[in-house]
Structure 1
Amino acid sequence: MLNAVRDQFWGAGYAATSLEDLMRVSGLGKGSLYAAFGDKRQLFLRALRSYTEESHGHLRRALDEAPRALDALRALLKAPTDDVSDTGTRRGCLLANSAYELGNADPEVLDHAHRTYETSTALIGDCVARAQREGDLPTGVDPIGLARALLAAQQGLVFMSRTGLDTATLDLTARSLAARLLPDHSGD
């Protein structure tokens, strides 16, 4: 049920989601919805936290389970080009969408976005350090600096996808970013 609520906020945004929408997707009446979750904002924050926890779980697994860290980092950049359907990347990132919509008006959303991106940066930075240990990236590269660049590039691709950019162009852009940010140093 929380996933259905999250998808409603993700698809329509916070402001455009009505109480009636939330009752419809949750299957709960107004009284039950408020009793279980409090007000609309509290339900939204719970759905947003659920989304970011799930996203960090996926990110952790993707980065940790790849045989080579460099392959995981390249896959991170390519991920926004993998599913550009209306239900995939075209909706963007719920956290980024929410920070854009509510960040100036809701310090709690902005703080959550900041903490989430810091956690993502740390996870990616650990993967960069692993790629350095594996000899695929130069040891002089700052892992956190490169992690921030990779996250910014990946989120940029997500945004470009939301504008309707075609898959071939997105894929070419992702490969170009990977070539520049993650050059192959294994033969050095």
Structure 2
Amino acid sequence: MARPRTFDEEQVLRDLRDRFWDAGYAATTLQDLMRISGLGKGSLYGAYGDKHALFLRTLKAYNAEGKEGTRATLESEPRAIDALRKVLVAPVGPGADRGCFLANSTCELATEHADVRAEAKQTYDALADLIAACVERAQRDGDLLADEDAGELARTLLTAQQGLVYMGRAGTDLETLRATARVLSNRLLPIA
């Protein structure tokens, strides 16, 4: 009879995700995963599968949290335009040099791993859909031109936001990131 699990699975997954996030997939070893989780190889694989399955699980959990966080941000402001600005500049702040786990993982693995590429595409498409709905609300409010394609603007905003993520990851200082975010916001979401 199998013994019941006696560890906080969600906390272990967050800790393992952070290792993948900080070191990258290739540089994260089985020994790292065992040390961080406190599990032996058999228990780790029994609970999560192999390294790649574990990585995908942490990535999917991160993406689910990110989509929910984006949804909450987009619904947090009375004016949709203000919520859109908030989402656009979200990557600018302390920790910007860490980047985004999804973006980092996509750069490292999407070329060779179709499942990572598919997960990234699904997540970015879902984020663009959330942003497009907020763009449509801003159009109804009269804060954005009604004849602009909401989907195109949403993908443009997401691309601009991810550009800020990559600049932060590359070590661009916060002052420069803030100035860049301000210009992007003013150009893409002009104040009415």
State whether structure 2 residue 73 is matched by structure 1 residue 62. Answer: yes
The reply to whether residue 155 of structure 1 matches residue 152 of structure 2 is no
Superposition TM-score, scaled by structure 2 size: 0.92
Distance, in Å, in 2 between the alignment partners of 1:106 and 1:160 is: 24
SS at match of 1:58: helix
Q: CA deviation at 1:104?
A: 1.2
Is the contact made by 1:137 and 1:184 (CA closer than 8 Å) also made in structure 2? no
CA distance in 2, matches of 1:183, 1:9: 38
Offset of residue 82 of structure 1: 2.4
- AA aligned opposite 1:126: A
So what's the TM-score if we normalise by structure 1? 0.94
Q: Which one of the candidate residues 26, 33, 56 is aligned to 1:45?
A: 56
* Structure 1 partner of 2:38: 27
Aligned partners of 1:124 and 1:133: how far apart in 2?
Answer: 14
Length, aligned pairs only: 181
Counterpart amino acid of residue 107 in structure 2: Y
Q: Say whether residues 1:36 and 2:43 are aligned partners.
A: no
Task: Give 5+ residue unaligned stretches, structure 2.
Answer: 1-11
The answer for unaligned runs of 5 or more in structure 1 is none
Percent of aligned pairs sharing the same letter: 55
Alignment of 1:105-124 (within 5 A): 105-124=112-131
Within the candidate set 158, 179, 185, 1:178 is matched to: 185
Distance 1:104 1:77 in 2: 26
Indicate the RMSD between aligned Cα atoms, in angstroms.
Answer: 0.9
Deviation at 1:135, TM superposition (A): 1.0
Range that drifts further, 159-168 or 6-15: 159-168
Greater mean alpha carbon deviation, residues 22-31 or residues 1-10: 22-31
Report the Cα distance in structure 2 between the residues aligned to 1:53 and 1:80, rounded to whole angstroms.
Answer: 17
Q: Is the 8 A contact 1:63 1:69 kept in 2?
A: yes
